[in-house]
Structure 1
Amino acid sequence: MELQVQFPDAAKAKQCLSLSLSSSSSSLTFGSHVVVPWKPVDRAKQSFSFPFVKSEKRSIQKSKGFQKEAKKDLSRILRTEAAVKGIEKKSNSANSNSLWPKAVLEALDDSIRNNRWESALKIFGLLRKQHWYQPRCQTYTKLLMMLAKCRQPQQASILFEVMLSEGLKPTVDVYTSLVNAYGFSGLLDEAFHTLDDMKSLSDCRPDVVTYSTLINCCSKLHRFDLIDLVLKEMSYLGIQCSTVTYNTIIDGYGKAEMFEQMEKSLMDMIESGHCLPDVFTLNSFIWAYGNAGQIENMEKWYEEFQHMGIRPDIRTFNTLMKSYGKMGMFKKMISVLEFMEKRFYSPAVITFNIIIEMFGREGDIKKMDQFFQKMKNRGLKPNSITYCSLVHGYSKAGLLDKVDSILRQVDNSDVVLDTPFFNCVISAFGHTGYVERMEEMFLTMKERKCKPDKITFATMIQAYKGQGNLEAVRKFEVEIFNLEKIQVEKAKNDSSGSSATQERCNHEVPLLSMASSVAKKHIFLLYGGGDQDLKSQEVSGVSYGDRKQ
């Protein structure tokens, strides 16, 4: 939840920040004597009134009613999951054009939400075949946002062409998502071309969200020289920076360890008169200094933001704990956890993952096991990151029997395992010379449909070199070569796939009656064929891509 600063105007916030910076800063401590400028409500002292139950029988009936509702909810979830899986299977069929709208749309939404871009595009192709289908910009916006996260700029370009072929006029949201898809994949030229295309349209001019998205892409690629140019253009067009814009700039400078520019951006934010720091600004500062090991500056800025009336959240405390743990300051790390519990902040899975990881790195297996057990006692479900940290800690301490115990726990759970987990286990067995167990885990990895990466092959090569197995070494060196070759070809395709967008930028009005030749080549493979009957009525109540600033 975003919390507002308590000062009525920016001048007072600026004055408070100046006074705080000029005064001597004390170290941040968490312990039995903690002084903070805000006083949370002591929920333990609050009195609650519960409704009276007239009879024991009625209470039992109510309980049974809740159980029935829970069973109904569970059955509804199971039916939905089954429907989603069924739709995913039918996405490869060419004859399914009268499917239930809710099932198709839920399947599409599920794939988008979980960033399964290949599945999402197949289901979208199935959606376009339905007789009730009508194209909507919000659907395309959602898909483009997903493709940006998955770094699929070529597919985003093709999808945009398909949208134009359906006669839709792109909105600001669609263009912004396309800018994000290009910029997030490092194709800044294409992102700026798309921005220029927007500026040529009278009814689709870029807004503060578009520019904030572009600034975010520049920050992630460390192209800070372009940020000033973007800000100057915004000022020329009369577009004011929002809190999100400033937070994006601050976060980018912080991750690049450009602390002077980060602090200057904070002052610019306050001096703007219409934007004030919030908890996201606080978290960016805490993360930046904590990640760099500058604990004193981290603690100082924590107090500065407290003086400005900005309350921390669970992410703030997680960052503090990780920063202390990396520096070996375990007493402070645990005191943060105690501070959270006293202030009624509920530690999450990620909180315990951090603590388990830090004690595992230190080799304190007893403490690591203690907090793992505490995590389970609280009803928090361990995930693949939890088990990965445990395996790393046990292997570092030479306790391979404990690694086997973790593998048995994983087999008896429904935890979704990923490539980093298997890399960790393969490394544990490989570095200790248990090559047969390493090979078993490699086969299990393939059975679980987790794709090996460079780390997987490099770890196995190192293990085989230690055993003198040169034949296996050559085999996996070829695997690495093939993997790098695929990545290079993919990068070339991503670069060439945006040519259609560059061509389109030369036109005044970016509306095409048909998809480009690049798009036509892929439409039948990914989007379910060519033109569809768009005269059918729209299915109401389905919304994709609500705009958020």
Structure 2
Amino acid sequence: MSLARKILSLDDDSPDLESVLESKSARSLLTVRDSTDTNGSPNRSPLVRLLSLLKRRPILSIRVFCWRRKLRDSPPIIAEELASAITMASRARNPLLAHKYFNIYKSLVNGRPFLFNVLMTAYMYNGDVEETFLLFYKLQRLTEYGPDTVSYNILLSLCSYRRLVQEMESVFYEMEIYGIPPSIKTYHILIRGYLRSGMWEQMESIFGSLKKPNTSTHLLMLRGYALAGKLEKMERMYELVKREVHTRGRSLIWAMISAYYKVGGESSRRKIIELVKLVGGEEHLYFPNLHMVLISVYSEEGLIDEVRRIFDALNRNMVIGSHRVMTYENNSCFLF
């Protein structure tokens, strides 16, 4: 969408945004209502599509929404557009604005529990435990629909991230009482909660209760077993997801290296060396504390050239870092 490219070329506070939006092409695009696509399914509004393209620039997205909602002689804001605006306010770390939009369009909120979920996600994203639970309880009181699996997953995610294990377990128990079906994401959230809290038995118990674990489940358990130092189980899980770990699981490789290093021994050192080869380049040398692990491992294996390579890489990194600081200090005189 060329309009998105034009907007993305602007600074967040650029005064030129309004002139871009006031162009004839932009106005006609953002005020049209698509009915259905070629398959007969409802289309997303052009505004929703535009905001999705601007999601990395939430301030700009909010400014676009503010312009659109004040536009005269245009179709009223619909629920999906409101959901996008609340999400953008959340990304901008402005839960008060998200709450304001939610209240302004109360007529849209009624009968649409997914909008409660969007605002709950905004509160969760910004770490507001109290407001997340209060909105959940408000949704519970609306007996005509009430919370769904997504609503409970939001609460579970908040508790999991905050290591509120008892609260997390209470929320999951409530799901069982009210017959809310858990999703695979529900179990992943529980596993993460126990993993973060170092509760390995509970983590394994949830994993064992899953009838159809998927790749994401196995990647989670690989990390859990690595942190728990359960090498045999870690290695079995690694065999199941080796390809995924090699392509996008760099942090999992670090976790496995740390697990082997804690155990020690010649076999562990050999496995560490093999894992490092999967990463390639010198980026791994700057991972927190990993260079110290590798220096120790390479020294014990007598790989002096590898030790020297690490020191050379670290020296280059320190020189580059110092150069950046000096450049900033030398140029800063022009700022005053």
TM-score above 0.5, yes or no: yes
What whole-Å deviation, never above 9, does each CA across 1:200-219 have from its counterpart, x for those lacking one? Answer: 24233321111111111222
1:336 deviates by 1.1
1:348 deviates by 1.6
Find the counterpart in structure 2 of residue 227 from structure 1: 98
What whole-Å deviation, never above 9, does each CA across 1:123-145 have from its counterpart, x for those lacking one? Answer: xxxxxxxxxxxxxxxxx39x95x
Kindly report which structure 2 residues correspond to 1:79-228, keeping only aligned pairs within 5 A, or say none: 140=1, 144=4, 152=8, 154=10, 169-170=29-30, 171=32, 173-180=45-52, 184-187=56-59, 191-192=62-63, 194-228=65-99
Find the counterpart in structure 2 of residue 96 from structure 1: none
1:475 deviates by 2.2
The answer as to whether partners of 2:87 and 2:122 remain within 8 angstroms in 1 is yes
Matched, 1:352 2:218: yes
Separation in 2 of the partners of 1:355 and 1:207?
Answer: 41
1:472 deviates by 5.2
1:258–1:397: structure 2 CA closer, same or farther, 3 Å change rule? same
Q: How many residues align?
A: 294
Find the counterpart in structure 1 of residue 39 from structure 2: none
Find the counterpart in structure 1 of residue 291 from structure 2: 430
The answer as to whether partners of 2:139 and 2:146 remain within 8 angstroms in 1 is yes
The answer as to whether partners of 2:257 and 2:272 remain within 8 angstroms in 1 is yes
The answer as to whether partners of 2:102 and 2:109 remain within 8 angstroms in 1 is no
Q: Which runs of 5+ in 2 are unaligned?
A: 34-44, 262-267, 299-303, 329-336
Matched, 1:240 2:109: yes
Matched, 1:297 2:158: no
| Bigger relative contact order, structure 1 or 2 (CA pairs below 8 A, ≥6 apart) | 1
* 2:318 maps to which of 473, 483, 487: 473
1:408–1:239: structure 2 CA closer, same or farther, 3 Å change rule? same
Separation in 2 of the partners of 1:319 and 1:211?
Answer: 27
1:165 deviates by 5.2
Separation in 2 of the partners of 1:375 and 1:228?
Answer: 41
The answer as to whether partners of 1:182 and 1:191 remain within 8 angstroms in 2 is no
Find the counterpart in structure 1 of residue 231 from structure 2: 365
Kindly report which structure 2 residues correspond to 1:436-475, keeping only aligned pairs within 5 A, or say none: 437=306, 464=314, 469=315, 473-475=318-320
Amino acid paired to 2:86: I
Matched, 1:389 2:252: yes
The answer as to whether partners of 2:160 and 2:193 remain within 8 angstroms in 1 is yes
Separation in 2 of the partners of 1:296 and 1:409?
Answer: 39
1:265 deviates by 0.7
What whole-Å deviation, never above 9, does each CA across 1:170-203 have from its counterpart, x for those lacking one? Answer: 3362223444555652416x62454333442423
Kindly report which structure 2 residues correspond to 1:30-41, keeping only aligned pairs within 5 A, or say none: none
Separation in 2 of the partners of 1:440 and 1:166?
Answer: 55
Find the counterpart in structure 2 of residue 319 from structure 1: 189
1:397 deviates by 3.7
1:408 deviates by 5.2
Separation in 2 of the partners of 1:360 and 1:312?
Answer: 27
Separation in 2 of the partners of 1:256 and 1:185?
Answer: 17
The answer as to whether partners of 1:183 and 1:214 remain within 8 angstroms in 2 is no
The answer as to whether partners of 1:349 and 1:382 remain within 8 angstroms in 2 is no
Amino acid paired to 1:474: V
Separation in 1 of the partners of 2:236 and 2:285?
Answer: 22
Bigger Rg, structure 1 or 2: 1
1:203–1:322: structure 2 CA closer, same or farther, 3 Å change rule? same
1:482–1:166: structure 2 CA closer, same or farther, 3 Å change rule? farther
What whole-Å deviation, never above 9, does each CA across 1:447-490 have from its counterpart, x for those lacking one? Answer: xxxxxxxxxxxxx99x73xxxx4x6522244358889xxxxxxx
Separation in 1 of the partners of 2:193 and 2:53?
Answer: 32
The answer as to whether partners of 1:291 and 1:323 remain within 8 angstroms in 2 is yes
SS at match of 2:29: coil
Separation in 2 of the partners of 1:368 and 1:215?
Answer: 40
Matched, 1:402 2:271: yes
1:481–1:254: structure 2 CA closer, same or farther, 3 Å change rule? farther
TM-score by length of 1: 0.46
Separation in 2 of the partners of 1:320 and 1:394?
Answer: 25
SS at match of 1:239: helix
Amino acid paired to 2:121: D
1:220–1:193: structure 2 CA closer, same or farther, 3 Å change rule? closer
Say which is worse superposed, 358-367 or 312-321, in terms of deviation: 358-367
The answer as to whether partners of 2:163 and 2:193 remain within 8 angstroms in 1 is yes
1:335–1:395: structure 2 CA closer, same or farther, 3 Å change rule? closer
Separation in 1 of the partners of 2:317 and 2:74?
Answer: 61
Matched, 1:257 2:117: no
1:352 deviates by 1.4
1:407 deviates by 5.1
Separation in 2 of the partners of 1:192 and 1:208?
Answer: 18
Separation in 1 of the partners of 2:229 and 2:192?
Answer: 16
Separation in 1 of the partners of 2:21 and 2:96?
Answer: 31
1:394–1:410: structure 2 CA closer, same or farther, 3 Å change rule? closer
1:439–1:271: structure 2 CA closer, same or farther, 3 Å change rule? farther
Separation in 2 of the partners of 1:323 and 1:287?
Answer: 8
